[in-house]
Each structure stands twice: as C-alpha cells, then as structure tokens.
Amino acid sequence: MSTSARELTVGMGAGGLATSDMVLNIGPQHPATHGVLRLRITLDGERITKCEPIVGYMHRGAEKLFEVRDYRQILVLANRHDWLSAFSSEIGVCLAVERALGMEVPERATWTRTLLSELNRVLNHLMFLGSYPLELGAITPMFYVFREREELQAVMEEIAGGRLHYMFNRIGGLRDDIPAGWLDRAAEAVATVRRRMPEIESFIVGNPILNARTKGVGVITPAMVEQYGISGPIARAAGVDVDLRRDDPYLAYGELFSPGGPGRVITRPEGDSLARLEVLLDQTHVSLDLADACIEKLRSLPQGPVNVKLPKVLKVPEGSGYAATENPLGFNGYYLVSRGEKTPWRLKLRSASFNNMSCLGEVMEGELLADMVAILGSMFFVVGDIDK
Amino acid sequence: MSVLEIVLRSVAVLVCFMVLPLVLGQAEHKVMAHMQGRLGPMKAGGFHGWAQLIADGVKFAQKEDIVPRAADKPVFRLAPAVSMFSYLLALVAIPFTPSTVAGDLPASLVYVLAVSGIATVATLMAGFGSGNKYAMLGAFRSAAQLVSYEVPLILACASFAMAAGSLSIGGIVHAWHPIWLLWQLPGAIVLLIAATAELQRPPFDMPVADSEVVMGAMTEYTGLRFALFLLSEYAGIVVMSALFAALYLGGWNGPFDGALGFVWMLLKTAAVAFVVLWVRMSWPRLREDQLQRFAWFFLVPLALFQLALTAAGVIYTA
C-alpha cells in the first residue's frame, strides 16, 4: 500500500497547505481490538481514507489440529476458537458427527442442549452489551453486565463444571444428566437477569450521548451482507431476515420457532451501530424466553438417558457433510470429510467473526477515527474466531 | 510580606496541592467502585484502602523513566512539570476564607483562568513532543477542544465578575447573595460544562480516549512523569471545583461562616468535584465534532444570554 502525498489547497494566498496521509496502525496491541487484531488505517486528519484489516496474529491452526484428534477430542478444540460461544460451537461438531453417523440423540439431551446454548447466547450478548459502551468511554455498564453474567455463570458452572469452556457435550448427547433442583435454579437465574435487564438498557440505549455516537455510524447494507457473507446479529441489524434457528432448524429450535412459539427473529432496517446494539439487546430477551420455554419442556419430559453409548473407537463412515449452527455471533459451520478413520480427513471451520470482519475495510472508509471504535465494537467479534 | 511568610504560604499551597488531589483520587476510586457494585481499594493502608494512591505513587516512582528515541526530548521532559505548575499557580489565588488565601491578587479570577489555560499547553507539548501518532492525534484534539471551550468558560466567568463588580474571586464571594443561585444558573451550567471540557474529563475526554488514541498525549509517558500528569489532572479538578464553588455557590458563605468558612468552602468544592466524578461513571464520551457543535451552538449562546441577563440585573439594581 502506498502512502501517496496529496495536496489540499486551502485559501492561503498563492501557496496552500500541503498535507500528507498518515498511516496509523491500530493494533495488534490496542485496547479497542480485544486481542490481537490489526487495522492498518490511512488517515487524512481524523478521517479514515482506507482501512485494511490484517488478521492472523492469533492463528492457532485449529483446522489442522482437528485432523489429528479423534471426534471426542475435537470438542475440546472446537469450543476454543470462539471462547464466548463455546457451547454453541461444541454443538456444531456434535451435529456434524451425529448426522454422519446417523445417530439418534435422546430428546432429553436435545432440549438440554437447546437450553444451554440459549444461556450461552445470553452470556455472549451480555458480554458485548458491556464491552461496547466501554469502548465509547462508558465504564459502568461492564460491571452491570458482569453481575448478570455471574447469575448465569453460576448455573452453567453447576451443570458443566466450566465457566468458559464447558465441555459438556458428547457425541450423541451430553456428559451428565441435569443435577437435582438445577432447573429451578436456572429458572431463577433467568428471571433475575430478565428483571434487571431494564437497568442495563437504560444505561445503553437510553443514553443520549451513546445514541449520538452510534446512530448512522458504520452503516452496513443488505448488499454488503450478501457480498461478504455477514451473518448473525450484524446481518439482522442490516435488515436481512436470516436465522438458522428458524430457517434450518436444529436441536429443538423447530418447535420453539414454530408459529405461536417463543422464538422470534429480531431485525432492524437501519444497519448502523445503534441497530446492531438494539438487535443484541432484543435477542437477549428472546433467548431468555427460549430458555424459559426449554426449562418448562424439560420439567415435563420423563427421566431417561442423555447420551448414547459409544464404541471404544469411534469411526465415522466415509462421506462428507456440513452442519451449521446459529452461533451468538452468526453462522458457525463445520464441513466434515471422513475417510472412515477415527479422525476426520478434513474438518473445515466456517466461523462467524471472520466473515463479519471482512467488511471492515468498506464500512470504515470515510468515517472518523473516533467512530472507528464505535464501528469496531459494534461488529461483535472474537479474535480467536477470526484467526481460528 | 516577609521572606518567611512567602515561604510559609508557598509550602501551604504545595501541601494543599499534594493532599487535595490525592483525597479526590481516593474518593474517585471509592465512589466509582460503589456506583459499580464493587468495593474498590481495600488493602493498602488497612482501613478501606486509604493509602492506595500513596502506594500507587511509590509504584510510579519505581518505574523506568522512558524517553522515546523519536521524542523532542527537552519538550517531552518538561511537559508534565508545565502541566503541574499550571494548577499549582492557580491554587495560589483560590480563597478558602476571606483571609485564607495564599496570594490575594486584585484580579485573581483573570489570573486563575490564565494560568489554568497553561495546562493545555502542556498537553500540546506532550503530544507533539512524543513523536508518536496517537499522542499527536490526542494533541490535535485537545487543541481543538481548547479553542472552543475557553470562550464559554471566560464568558461565564465574566458574568460572575460583572454581577459582583469585581475581578477578584474573594470580592465575588463577598458580593455573593443566595439569589445568584437562580440568577446565575445558566452561567453556572456553562461554567461547569466548560470546566469539565477544559479538564478533559468524561464525557469530554476524547483527547485522552483510552480506547481510541490510547491516552492521547500521555501515550509515551511512564513512571513519575505519567504520575505527574495524573496529579495535575486531579489538581485541575480541585481548582475548577473550587472556582465553581467560589463563584456560584458562595464560597465560604454559610452558617457560622466566621469560624467555619473554610469548611463550607471545602464542602462545596467536594460536592462539585463529586458531580465531576459522577458524570464519568455514567456517560460515554462525545465525539470531537459533537463537542464543538455543543460548545458553539449551545454553550456560547447560553453564556451570552447569561451576560445579557447579568447586565440587566446589574443595571436594574444599581
């Protein structure tokens, strides 16, 4: 990339001020990038003339590592590329393998998985609802969302033992059955979070400065959504009505998103940062409703197995298949190619953040440097999910 | 004034300068923590972490003092001192009671406004002297902010001076009457907002915005020099809060002000400083252009309206 000097003539007699562009590296170490993302920005004053996202500082070779792990071990890796959607990513691998094996998962396990992935979604969304205002200089919402997260973390920790990387899924079901009384505690946690959501909302969308900072900033059009393969809350905030939970139902979502069910797909027509934030807020409410519905359903289900007994050596028959899930940040897909071995021949990972981030260059162009963080923060990404 | 008296007064100002910002900083730690459902410092010094900032100071003093190779070294080294001296000099003219003032200047209001403006020069020195792009962007922003906020600040102060018929802060406090709380309200709003912007405190902290330009002009500073910048920021809050308390809230005026005058002044200053801290907890920061628009389309007209109102009041009562 060249940094050509440009002439800007202002009314100063014969001369005029010569200005040149400045190249500013945001990252790889920068507070706004939440990890090691790097943006190479060309600035004319405070205005961004060019923005080039440079990724790969956190590349861990997840796909290559998949190829030398058996299917049970892959789960450990799969829940690490997007550490805020660990449970949902485990589900993706499980679905891919179970479909290839033609395995029937017990209904009880399916509903529990659905419940936990919705709780995981709430945890994920709360995190971004807190970190986004932080980038705009509001330091307090972070602590409020962490209080709510703690309610849910407690029930997640009780059932799975983990707080971030749950490792609660197994091929064919779940590791354990629900502990006694856990459903009541989960319902209570969901009710507590729902009750306190207005406090967070008033901090965020009720704030005039936050509105002024985000309205009309970083607009993403439906055309861009299609070109870059953007998905998840960012696509829905641009008015693209797409949600795999409804459009390609997996787990128990078919029933939850059926007419009259609690499932709703939230969209906004504006496509700006504020719309993305609002979608996240509304989705949190929907996920809490879905979690409630799952809890009710689980109460009515009879006791029974939550997993399938697996052979000592698990081999997936030759063939290929693709399993996509609606992760909190967007489509997350695993393309599994097996040659009948106990490890996959290839397991391609399609992560949400990578596609979502790829549009940054186009979105940032012409915006102010101060809006850079407003846009970057509203793209809701996890660096591990970009670099894999 | 004997030499001894001058030395004593200077030492008193220095002690105030070292103690009040630390008290304020500690208050910010605790106020912020409790507003966010935390406890804040609890260990250092024992009782509710009262010695946290002293511990911080010791830590800062132990850190390596780095001057970047690309920096304009003398300017870079001098900037924190300039910043500190600006508010140190301003503190000299702040009266705590009619007699408790280090230097009783006839035009102390003009003096305080003038020397507190020097702090912005220090930011510019730091920003342009660092040889760092983030620091330079921060300096650009604070320069732009200075231009737009000095005007409403001075207009608001002029209104108080006009109402009192005096340019001395002490004189203004003497002339203060409770009716000012209503009469000078628009000017007070302008003064508080402009002072916050002058101090580069949230929501007007885009020159230091840590998530964008990574502390702006202070990016390259480490150790004691960084601590001096922080100290002068809090000293600035003390000076501006004291100025606001003196001009608008009547300074030492209050029940038993013969004996308790300085208590009233300190309480009022603390209340104003609390508001400045409170805003930081609850609001995100504005963008530079939004701030400029706010200054020129809202604050300046409001300050001019206040001037007209004050003039009408002065003529009516004369």
Instruction: Print pLDDT tens along chain A (388 aa).
Output: 444 444 444 444 444 556 677 888 887 888 777 778 888 888 887 788 888 888 888 888 888 999 998 888 898 988 888 888 899 999 999 999 998 888 888 989 999 999 999 999 999 999 999 888 888 888 888 888 998 899 999 999 999 888 888 889 988 889 888 888 899 999 999 999 999 898 888 888 888 888 888 888 889 999 999 999 999 999 999 989 998 888 888 888 988 888 888 888 899 998 899 999 999 999 999 999 999 999 999 999 888 888 888 888 888 888 898 999 999 999 999 999 998 888 999 999 999 999 888 888 888 888 888 888 888 888 888 888 888 8
Q: What is the mean pLDDT of residues B45-67?
A: 88
A188: tokens are 């209570």
A262: tokens are 């609690």
Whether residue B180 is predicted with pLDDT greater than 90 in this model: the reply is no
Whether residue B100 is predicted with pLDDT greater than 80 in this model: the reply is no
Report the alpha-carbon distance of residue B102 to residue B107 in Å, rounded: 14
Q: What is the mean pLDDT of residues B133-139?
A: 87
Q: What does each C-alpha distance from A388 to B136, B198, B229 come to in angstroms? A: 35, 45, 41
Contact A135 B282 (CB under 8 A): no
Q: What is the mean pLDDT of residues B280-304?
A: 87
Report the alpha-carbon distance of residue B259 to residue A342 in Å, rounded: 87
- Which candidate from A22, A138, A144 shows the least CB-CB separation from B284? A138
8 Å CB contact between A35 and A384? yes
A211: tokens are 């509105």
**According to the model, what pLDDT value does residue A11 have?**
41
8 Å CB contact between B157 and B247? yes
**According to the model, what pLDDT value does residue A18 have?**
60
Containing B74, the helix (H) or strand (E) segment is helix B73-92
Whether residue B311 is predicted with pLDDT greater than 60 in this model: the reply is yes
- A224 SS3 class: helix
Contact A207 B203 (CB under 8 A): no
DSSP of A201-236, one letter per residue?
HHHHTT-HHHHHHHTTSS---HHHHHHHT--HHHHH
Contact A370 B133 (CB under 8 A): no
**According to the model, what pLDDT value does residue A388 have?**
83
B31 to chain A, minimum CA–CA distance in Å?
12
B138: tokens are 């921060």
Residue B101 phi, psi dihedral angles, 5° rounding: -150, 135
**According to the model, what pLDDT value does residue A189 have?**
93
Neighbours of B33 (CB within 10 A): 17
**According to the model, what pLDDT value does residue A188 have?**
93
Q: Enter the ipTM.
A: 0.80
Q: Does A137 touch chain B (CB under 8 A)?
A: yes
- Which candidate from A31, A212, A373 shows the least CB-CB separation from B290? A212
- Which candidate from B140, B203, B290 shows the least CB-CB separation from A137? B203
Domain boundary assignment for chain B: 67-317
Architecture of domain A62-387: Orthogonal Bundle (1.10)
Provide the residue type at B151 as one letter: V
Provide the residue type at A156 as one letter: M
First vs last C-alpha separation in chain B: 37
Contact B284 A137 (CB under 8 A): yes
Q: What is the mean pLDDT of residues B35-51?
A: 86
Report the alpha-carbon distance of residue A136 to residue B92 in Å, rounded: 36
Domain ranges in chain A with CATH number 1.10.645.10: 62-387
Residue range B246-266, pLDDT digits in tens: 889 888 887 877 788 888 888
- Chain A residues closer than 8 Å to B288 by CB: 46, 368, 370
Contact A140 B209 (CB under 8 A): no
**According to the model, what pLDDT value does residue A17 have?**
58
Q: What does each C-alpha distance from B15 to B80, B95, B99, B165 come to in angstroms? A: 19, 15, 18, 32
Q: Does B203 touch chain A (CB under 8 A)?
A: yes
**According to the model, what pLDDT value does residue A204 have?**
82
- Which candidate from A207, A371, A373 shows the least CB-CB separation from B283? A207
First vs last C-alpha separation in chain A: 26
8 Å CB contact between A135 and A376? yes
Q: Does A31 touch chain B (CB under 8 A)?
A: yes
- Chain A residues closer than 8 Å to B202 by CB: 137
Report the alpha-carbon distance of residue B12 to residue B96 in Å, rounded: 12
Q: What does each C-alpha distance from A182 to A107, A147, A174, B123 come to in angstroms? A: 18, 20, 15, 56
- Chain B residues closer than 8 Å to A31 by CB: 210-211, 214
Q: Does B206 touch chain A (CB under 8 A)?
A: yes
8 Å CB contact between A328 and A85? yes
Mutate to test the interface with B, among A47, A200, A209 (most CBs of B within 10 A): A209
Report the alpha-carbon distance of residue A80 to residue A60 in Å, rounded: 10
A72 to chain B, minimum CA–CA distance in Å?
40
Contact A147 B211 (CB under 8 A): no
Report the alpha-carbon distance of residue A232 to residue A330 in Å, rounded: 3
Containing A52, the helix (H) or strand (E) segment is strand A47-54
Whether residue B272 is predicted with pLDDT greater than 90 in this model: the reply is yes
**According to the model, what pLDDT value does residue A4 have?**
47
Contact B211 A22 (CB under 8 A): no
